């Protein structure tokens, strides 16, 4: 079981960070997930009715990530935090993509609560996972581009294991190697906020909502939290 860890340098730079790690073992994505399907449909209907809209860059939850991206040299209007990009897509098209039940679940929770989310197939993770500043020597193969290799810039915040980078620009895009497919059975889902003082309760609510979507389709589930004062958890 890998340990997830926030590096001391990232913890110092973002002292109000709170990260939820929701793990599922024995996950079955080859059956219907009616609660996830309903969550997506409810989001889209609320948008169509005008009773709800996804958070945009004027929202404090998104604005905090834009500020963080700029701090490590990334232009957040060109390379957007995942929740920002997903919300913009929903607002434009009126619908979210259907990928597979596990991915659809964290997408629905992410957009509903305005919090970045991602996931890693733990059967393809090597060693422990660390959130740290890139040195410039790491490699990254983007999701959906198995023949592409990128080199994160020094100082960019990344998720990485002992093989290579799992997520660039903190939460912009996941890696191809650890992507979650219908065949993934051991998965770690991640939800994040940079402002636990303001949004900690929101993140905990989102983590429990995601947990609830996973429970009927998994043999076992757990929820862990990372903070700068408790910077690691073993999944």
pLDDT score of 1: 85
Residues near 89 by Cβ (< 8 Å), separated by ≥ 6?
96, 97
Nearest-angstrom CA–CA distance, 78 and 82: 12
Which uninterrupted H or E stretch holds 188? strand 186-193
CB 101 within 8 A of CB 125: no
Exposure of 156 in the CB half-sphere (CA atoms within 13 A): 25
- Residues 62-113 have pLDDT tens digits of 999 999 999 999 999 999 999 999 999 999 999 999 999 999 999 999 999 9
On whether the CB atoms of residues 27 and 211 are closer than 8 A, the answer is no
DSSP per position, 23-49: EEES---SS--HHHHHHHHHHHHHHHH
Tracing tokens 């939850």 back to the chain, one arrives at 61
Q: Which pLDDT score is estimated for 140? A: 98
In 114-220, which ranges are continuous DSSP H helix?
196-214
- d(Cα 38, Cα 36) in Å, to the nearest integer? 5
Enumerate domains of the chain plus CATH numbers.
Answer: 3-234 (3.50.40.10)
Mean pLDDT per 10-residue section of the chain, whose length is 235 residues: 96 98 98 98 98 97 98 98 98 97 98 98 98 98 98 98 98 98 98 98 98 98 98 95
Residue 109 has a CB neighbour count (10 Å cut-off) of: 26
Compute the distance between CA of residue 102 and CA of residue 15 in angstroms, rounded to an integer.
Answer: 30
**How many Å apart are CA 31 and CA 28, to the nearest integer?**
7
Half-sphere exposure of 191 (CA within 13 A, CB side): 33
**Residue that has been written with the tokens 């995601």 in this structure:** 210
Query: Token pair of 131, please?
Result: 């959130």
Q: What is the DSSP annotation of 49-107?
A: HTS-----TTSHHHHHHHHHHHHTT--TTTS--HHHHHHHHHHHHSS-----HHHHHHH
Does residue 68 contact residue 156 with C-beta atoms inside 8 Å? no
Distance CA 176, CA 183 (A): 14
Q: 132: which strand partners?
A: 158
């Amino acid at each position: 079981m890998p340990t997830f860890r926030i590096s001391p340098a990232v913890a110092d730079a973002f002292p109000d960070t709170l990260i939820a790690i929701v793990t599922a073992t024995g996950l079955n994505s080859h059956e219907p997930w009616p609660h996830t399907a309903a969550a997506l449909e409810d989001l889209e209907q609320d948008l169509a009715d005008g009773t709800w809209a996804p958070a945009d860059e004027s929202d404090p939850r998104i604005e905090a990530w834009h500020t963080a991206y700029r701090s490590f040299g990334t232009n957040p209007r060109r390379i957007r935090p995942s929740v920002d990009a997903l919300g913009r897509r929903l607002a434009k098209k009126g619908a979210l993509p259907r990928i597979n039940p596990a991915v659809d679940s964290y997408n629905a929770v992410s957009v509903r609560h305005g919090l970045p989310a991602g996931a890693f197939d733990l059967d393809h993770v090597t060693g422990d996972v660390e959130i740290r500043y890139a040195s410039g020597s790491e490699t990254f193969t983007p999701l959906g581009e198995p023949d592409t290799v990128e080199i994160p810039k020094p100082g960019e915040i990344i998720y990485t294991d002992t093989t290579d980078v799992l997520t660039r620009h903190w939460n912009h895009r996941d890696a191809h190697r650890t992507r979650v497919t219908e065949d993934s059975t051991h998965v770690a889902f991640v939800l994040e906020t940079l402002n636990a003082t303001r949004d900690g309760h929101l993140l905990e609510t989102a983590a429990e909502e995601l947990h609830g979507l996973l429970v009927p389709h998994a043999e076992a589930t757990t929820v862990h939290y990372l903070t700068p004062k408790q910077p690691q958890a073993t999944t």
